[in-house]
Copies of this chain bind each other. A is one copy, B any other.
Amino acid sequence: MTRVPGVVTVGYQGEPGAFSEEAAATLFPGAATLPVRTLRAIFEDVRGGQLAYGVVPVENSQAGSINETFDLLGRGGVSIVGEVVVRVDHSLLALPGTGIGDLRRVCSHPQALAQCDEFLAALDVEIVPVYDTAGAAKVIAAEGRSDEAAVASPRAAELYGLVILARQIQTHPENRTRFAAISADPTPLAPPDKTSIVFSVRNEPGALVRALDALASRGLNLSKIESRPVVAEPWHYRFYLDIDAGDPEHPLREALEAMEADVTSLRPLGSYPAWRDPQPH
């Protein structure tokens, strides 16, 4: 890794031109952004202090939660300190001279391919999942693949010298991805108004509803609930909640204490400022 002394380094998954890079640059203007090949490596580098921050995808408005991120958050050692929402407009990119009729393969990240499923189903080409949207564009350019296209951002076309065959090819035009900023230091990027927690419930009828009611009965709203399997115990789950409260004091602290009766484990993942889209000027 190359570092500029005194400049904060923020890791993101993928290659330059990835939507994750845009998320990192939006949340940390002026910071150095560093491409990292896998989400797992970002968490390891943040946990170990090699990266001050990482920016990782949490959920997409069309394809849903990024399971790997939730599983890595569940392992501990990092806190969520901020979040950002990025518009995801996918384009179909190819080498100059390649037409849509020449295509035999389209490659991209599996989430991007899922987001463009209707457009791609009409193309009658082989769909090839790869690890990154911008990485797919980079390979087509580097290897001169004239029968292949990538699903990636317009910025990736610029960076790698490709042309845009089609724009906004995602199935639903309002396509956004929410990213979390993670750090080994739990200090939020600004005063917090949102808290994420992870917990497992006792194996008793009604335990999940009672645990959720500890929050609801105190007027605390849940903006998201996600379940992921506990791998050591088939058909048991870990639940992830986003709560619209950033103050660790009453009533949130009281609610978390009340949940203890019905949970086998409960851990805060971080309190941080909820993202708000900038107001147009």
Residues of A within 8 A of B (CB): 59-65, 67-68, 110, 114, 129, 171-172, 174, 176, 178, 205-206, 208-210, 212-213, 215-216, 219, 221-229, 231-232, 234-235, 237
Contact = CB atoms under 8 A, between A and B. Distances in A.
Contacts of A59: 229
A264 to B, nearest CB: 17
A271 B213 CA distance: 27
A222 B234 contact: no
Most B-side CB within 10 Å, residue of A63, A174, A209:
A209
Contacts of A208: 212, 222, 225
Contacts of A110: 110, 129
Contact of A232 (B172, B227, B231): B172
Nearest to A121: B40
B227 A225 contact: yes
A128 to B, nearest CB: 8
